[in-house]
Structure 1
Amino acid sequence: MFQDEARFGRLSDPRRCWAPWPIRPLVRKTLIREYVYAYAAVTPADGHLEWMLADDMAAKTMGLFLRQVAQNHPNEFVIMVLDGAPSHRSRELEIPEQMALIRLPPYSPELNPAERLWDELREKEFANKVFDSLEAAVIQLALGLWRLESAPAATQSLTGWQWILESS
């Protein structure tokens, strides 16, 4: 599995959008800095997705997420590939017995297929939207993650491009 985390919140994400000529679309913008963190682990070969939302990105929270993944795969040994974030290297990080962590080289997000999840969510769930509360942003994020989780073929297509190239 490949793991990553990202921050989502109320800070708006204005992007280009389509509108018929000569209409110029208007997009609201907000600068409120309230955030929630999304943890995700994906298996690119089959599109299986595990996720969790949290208030912070700390070693203790990362340990909770790893425990959640281990509990959902009780009869499997999970090899978790992740980046070198401080919460992944902390001595306080508790790694479940049936799990091993492999760190990617520094400054190489293109090697982690889980990074593509965040681009998808930002484009489909957060682009050109303003949220009235952090709770509204959390609901939108959870709906987007649930959408990806409930469509393993789409998640596999999004994250597993290297597996497709190897099998053809």
Structure 2
Amino acid sequence: MPSCSWNQAGWHKAKDLQIPANISLLPLPPRSPELNPVENVWQYMRDNWLSNRVFTSYTNILDHCADAWKRLANQPWTIMSIGLRDWVYRS
């Protein structure tokens, strides 16, 4: 049975969420971003394309973020290596 994790943020606690019978939700402990692979994706984008910059406007920030996301989306193996967690797989 596939599992999915979430970080228990307030906006992730929808009362009307329909969870399929073949999916198990696994709540992550509070304040543990290292357990959430997407946090590492954002860190990778900051480290490689978004840090050490002066943004001129909100639109400029959005443009840079969109560009970083497109660059990363064109590197599926990088995304896989960033998000891979050996402990996720069960034998």
| Deviation (angstroms), 1:89 | 2.0
Match of 2:13 in 1: 89
Cα drift, residue 155 of structure 1: 0.9
Q: Which residue, 58, 63, 72 being the options, matches 1:139?
A: 63
Structure with the higher fraction of residues in helix conformation:
2
- What 5-or-longer segments of structure 2 have no aligned partner? none
Distance 1:80 1:95 in 2: 14
Partner of 1:123: 47
% identity of equivalent residues: 29
- Tell me the secondary structure at the aligned position of residue 45 of structure 2: helix
- The one-letter amino acid paired with 2:75 is A
Mapped partners of 2:19, 2:66: distance in 1: 29
3-state SS of 1:156 partner: helix
Normalising by structure 2, what TM-score?
Answer: 0.74
Matched length: 86
Higher RCO structure (Cα 8 Å, ≥6 apart): 1
Between structures 1 and 2, the one with greater strand share = 1
TM-score, structure 1 normalization: 0.43
Gaps of 5+ in 1: 1-76
